[in-house]
Structure 1
Amino acid sequence: MDSATFLPKYLHLYRRILEERIHDRRPIGIDVTVDGLAFLLGEENTIKLFQSLMALKERARMEEKRKRPINIFLLNRGRASDRLVSWIALYSQYVIEFCSSVDSTKEKMVIRKSPLPDFKPREGGYRFWIERGRVIIE
């Protein structure tokens, strides 16, 4: 895998999944960790890939009549540069940060960015954990 072939391969696979599996449902994609991609391809190449991907998504939004996908990009902030974090935040509609707490089974969840018109970050955030296979947000 390299930066020249990643996006064409990704798009080919994505289109195939849309045609064969998704049909008229809204697709949700969880992609590799962005910090891992930057490690494999280099930070500059990863940023360029995201710029290309966002341009392709905008073109598809205008030209294609189908439900728009929800993409979830995971980022380990401890492994990424501030520059990479800034670029990903710029392209993201939502930014949700999870922080470990003293109790290792519960994390603090803070919504940093949202396109909702009246959005204001909640002071202190939320608590997030999984209990008996269920996600709990308090």
Structure 2
Amino acid sequence: MFDETNIFTLENAAVLFTLVLFFLFFMMIVNVIRFSLASSKFKKYTKEKLQLNQKENRREKVYFYENESFIYLKFLLKRKFLDSSDKSYIEAGNKSFRLYLIFVFNVFLFMVAFITFVILFGEYIHNLK
């Protein structure tokens, strides 16, 4: 009487999970673009204000050269831009910081979802012929 034609199979689950992975990957790319656009504006303000240059650190007889991007990222993560009195600079810094956190969360979520996908459906995909 009732034909069960819409059974949720393992193959359908794998396809659905793959679509979720593609969506997370797409959102990761979108967040990279958003962060880089906001970051470039904030980096320009920071260069004008602080004149970030290469620094040389010496640790245990080895020289480490910190390039401009690394110094800028440390500056952003320590939120030193809040010491400024310029409102637009603080807003640009907060936006960059928030978008950086969203990007890191998105990368973490994608990696967890991918590992879960491999654990759940790896044997099934391996047995496909």
Report 1 or 2 for greater relative contact order, CA contacts < 8 Å, sequence distance ≥ 6. Answer: 2
Structure possessing the higher radius of gyration over alpha carbons: 2
TM-score normalised to structure 2 length: 0.25
TM-score normalised to structure 1 length: 0.24
